[in-house]
Structure 1
């Protein structure tokens, strides 16, 4: 067996390459310089995208992971560098994204001493562990290859989630003799329980009015979900992360906006890769409703409500086993296509009457964005409406921060998605408040040729907060009005293309030009106050957060 003497930094880079990772996002600094030196020596085997802020690096790694399903990697110095990434790391956890955080650390013998060394914080590893499913510190250069393989294995085992590896400066600089043989990953997935499959198939076969709910855990099971829906003549309700698993063109494909009546009328709910948090907490479980869970980590959802049958397995593998079993128990079912198409039309009419001008803007975007184009959602009025009303045709093309609701994530996440999918259009939306969280990453986009299209809806305020202050707190408007730059001039100062439009029809024309541009494009749309979506999204509770 051949061996090579490597530094810890060289071992980390070699390990990334051995596991097929060829792109990293980050910022070099004194505690990770030995890693970046090894990246330099790797040449064009690995692409290093330097950002203008650690926050941007982590969000780009997240967008890369969400758009591709591949591992997104970011590299930062410890202390303030790492802490600047924690909102993105929390969002990666919420979206079950395969993100690897590589954080530097001060010298090993100084950790925990309180000397006040550069970038020192108390117990960085504990912070990292609270935001990941696995995190460790490298104690020697020679253990780095195994630690990296373990990190990547843990990331992919069970429900995917981010992981972290902390490497002190002396460990990255130190040398050790290491094997040249790549370390294989050991990804653990539960085997499909055939008894549970039979039990689920029997329960489905008896159900007269089943409904299917899908979330991000079913993102690779689109064909199987479609086959199940058609066999059961069951509507499919998609969470934000489940959008596109069943194309919006399919009659049975619906969003949560149409879900509550279907939930209350159903005698069986089939949850595939989703917790079902909204139905159980907001809609409540009808007494007559049975529940089947198909979930790779059902223990993370069982606290909401006990299932009648649980299939603990990967969604795609479980459904592949379930479909032939269902054929033995299923009844002859009348077509519900006309009923489901009528529900589509009913929802479209409701959206048109409730959410203007948001719906017209969404149509302009959908009309110009190809089916495989990637749309990155944001916490803005058009974003809230898009969760309910925007048609989505393919999985991994509607990116949302899930329950984390991370304001400002959209633009940098879109940059990472574009790096993962350079030949597909990528569009992010934002409000004026959220866009400026990471607007400096326009410099990164221009420098690295990451040609996304961004639409900024500018109402001169944290609009949702302002409206709630007005409606719920007797007009006590405080800290929600904003003074903004001239967005077109601001964008053009980076060398990107800035455009301003004032209507949905002009946005449609601007988007057509933007997708053909050879530079990043930001389109500003000045808007007034828009109607809020909360009464439809949360009909049984008061939404009090912006």
Structure 2
């Protein structure tokens, strides 16, 4: 037991739980927390941002790309609300993000005095986009509350959590007993009968397929072994990309998965909502679905599966592999390779301009590099057109579609992967949401390479205005700065490109130059719509009214 302030109790508890990086923005209610980080010295790498939204986006990128907890700290009220878009993104993508919020003095909470940054029922507000949240009302509570936060993120399905401490409690000195971090949490049991039933269905199936989401990221090796043994193609859309390497004939992108779905008789869905396949493509009695998820509410959210297994994906796959023994199905390489080639040709025919840029990025990005998308035309096509070879190499906003998330998120990815190359793509509209974080990138020398496709419009919006509203264009044209000069004014590197090959030259220069880089690609024509390979037609019976 040692005497320390509430702020010190939080920071020392973070260290006990393995946190070495915090993304934060200082303010009055966090003064004692920042002083505690100062005292911690090199034990905590503190990266401060220029806007609260960036603290949580960076924590999100750090978490999604490393698999570790991403930690951010913001002032209460408007500070926490500014971070809410990123926490919402982390919620929808099952990312373990810990948000630490300050709070007004404990004696004023709920009184409505009008204290700086006061918000009514802050815990209640944030509870809708966090898995768990709690107030720390005495320094001695900090180790227990921090330990519970990490337990919540490590058990069941990971999602963001929030802890907050009133500013007077952060300053209060008291005797505190620190707790050692605990990664030994109980797991859900695996039902042997369910394993045997699932294996029997898959071994007897004529056209099985596997669909993976973020719940299978840490079980990628078992997914690969099981798919190889039974020769089952593995489809991923966003979060599951790289679980099966894209250059393996068993790897299926989204449009290939659509073609497989039409003839499929058994689907093994692992750690995925299975939203688009079920709601858009449909299901009938000839298609049997086996779902594996730690979240029981996911199993029957859209329709009842033939078999639902509530357990950790890795444990289920270990059991399936053990039960499968030495069984090896006949190779489907010729069949699936032919289908992959046909789908790739179709994609290149319809969205060739985006693919030309993605091809260059793939060729220049090392095999272990990380790609971060944005809500933009090239980003959409990357979901099915950009190959990755390991999990956590393709980062997206998932179903939240958070325009502007990309640049700050990619800085968090870079901070967590300084030994790797990271490329992020943005549209001109989305980049401007967090462009001020160029300052952060330069200050901390984060060597992120960002490609901005500048067509001076919100392309999705304007395309729909032209197609749906007889060409009535409103508020979708953009006035932009010179992005190269803007980057240089911050002290970053700036390059211009006008085609895939000049972008290649710029990427090479950026990789060879220290610090962050911006590559502005001038786009004059509309990119082809990416939607034909995402909003694909129903090929089974509808399951949604």
Q: TM-score, normalised by structure 1?
A: 0.96
Find the aligned partners of 2:446 and 2:22 in 1 and give their Cα distance.
14
SS of residue in 2 equivalent to 1:318: helix
Q: 1:349-368 maps to which residues of 2 (within 5 A)? A: 349-368=345-364
The one of 508, 532, 535 aligned to 1:535: 532
Quick check: 1:149–1:185 contact (8 Å CA) kept in 2? no
Q: 1:194-209 maps to which residues of 2 (within 5 A)? A: 194-209=192-207
- Using the TM superposition, give the Cα deviation of residue 532 of structure 1 relative to its aligned residue in structure 2, in angstroms: 0.7
Q: Does 1:430 align with 2:426?
A: yes
- Using the TM superposition, give the Cα deviation of residue 189 of structure 1 relative to its aligned residue in structure 2, in angstroms: 2.6
Find the aligned partners of 2:148 and 2:56 in 1 and give their Cα distance.
21
Quick check: 2:254–2:533 contact (8 Å CA) kept in 1? no
2:84 counterpart residue number? 86
Q: Does 1:230 align with 2:233?
A: no
Q: 1:64-143 maps to which residues of 2 (within 5 A)? A: 64-143=62-141
Q: Which range moved further: 302-311 or 499-508?
A: 302-311
Q: Does 1:406 align with 2:390?
A: no
Q: Does 1:273 align with 2:246?
A: no
1:384 counterpart residue number? 380
2:9 counterpart residue number? 11
- Cα 1:188–1:475 shift into 2, 3 Å: farther
- Using the TM superposition, give the Cα deviation of residue 458 of structure 1 relative to its aligned residue in structure 2, in angstroms: 0.4
Deviations 1:233-276 (A, max 9, x none): 21111120000000011001011111122112011000011111
Find the aligned partners of 1:471 and 1:515 in 2 and give their Cα distance.
40
Q: Does 1:519 align with 2:518?
A: no
Find the aligned partners of 1:450 and 1:269 in 2 and give their Cα distance.
42
SS of residue in 2 equivalent to 1:460: coil
Find the aligned partners of 2:129 and 2:381 in 1 and give their Cα distance.
29
1:153 counterpart residue number? 151
Deviations 1:507-538 (A, max 9, x none): 11211221121011100001121111113211
Kindly report structure 1 stretches of 4+ aligned residues shifted beyond 6 Å: none
Find the aligned partners of 2:186 and 2:120 in 1 and give their Cα distance.
33
State the number of aligned residues. Answer: 537
Quick check: 1:146–1:183 contact (8 Å CA) kept in 2? no
Gaps of 5+ in 2: 539-545
Deviations 1:285-335 (A, max 9, x none): 03201111121223223221212222222111211111121247x6x6432
Find the aligned partners of 1:136 and 1:407 in 2 and give their Cα distance.
29
Q: Does 1:37 align with 2:35?
A: yes
- Using the TM superposition, give the Cα deviation of residue 17 of structure 1 relative to its aligned residue in structure 2, in angstroms: 0.7
Find the aligned partners of 2:66 and 2:258 in 1 and give their Cα distance.
32
Q: Which range moved further: 506-515 or 426-435?
A: 506-515
SS of residue in 1 equivalent to 2:352: coil
SS of residue in 1 equivalent to 2:176: strand
Deviations 1:1-47 (A, max 9, x none): xx111111010011001111011001111101111111111111111
- Using the TM superposition, give the Cα deviation of residue 218 of structure 1 relative to its aligned residue in structure 2, in angstroms: 0.6
1:508 counterpart residue number? 504
Find the aligned partners of 1:265 and 1:112 in 2 and give their Cα distance.
59
Find the aligned partners of 2:125 and 2:40 in 1 and give their Cα distance.
31
Find the aligned partners of 2:461 and 2:200 in 1 and give their Cα distance.
49
Q: CA RMSD in A?
A: 1.3
Quick check: 1:150–1:185 contact (8 Å CA) kept in 2? no
- Using the TM superposition, give the Cα deviation of residue 180 of structure 1 relative to its aligned residue in structure 2, in angstroms: 4.1
SS of residue in 2 equivalent to 1:408: coil
Find the aligned partners of 1:396 and 1:493 in 2 and give their Cα distance.
32
SS of residue in 2 equivalent to 1:519: coil
Quick check: 1:153–1:186 contact (8 Å CA) kept in 2? no
Quick check: 2:299–2:305 contact (8 Å CA) kept in 1? no
1:325 counterpart residue number? 323
Quick check: 2:143–2:178 contact (8 Å CA) kept in 1? no
Find the aligned partners of 1:176 and 1:283 in 2 and give their Cα distance.
59
The one of 42, 46, 49 aligned to 1:48: 46
SS of residue in 1 equivalent to 2:509: helix
Find the aligned partners of 1:381 and 1:146 in 2 and give their Cα distance.
46
The one of 471, 475, 478 aligned to 2:474: 478
Quick check: 1:26–1:57 contact (8 Å CA) kept in 2? yes
Q: Which range moved further: 504-513 or 35-44?
A: 504-513
Find the aligned partners of 2:43 and 2:179 in 1 and give their Cα distance.
18
Q: TM-score, normalised by structure 2?
A: 0.96
1:314 counterpart residue number? 312
SS of residue in 1 equivalent to 2:315: helix
Find the aligned partners of 2:181 and 2:362 in 1 and give their Cα distance.
44
Quick check: 1:210–1:267 contact (8 Å CA) kept in 2? yes
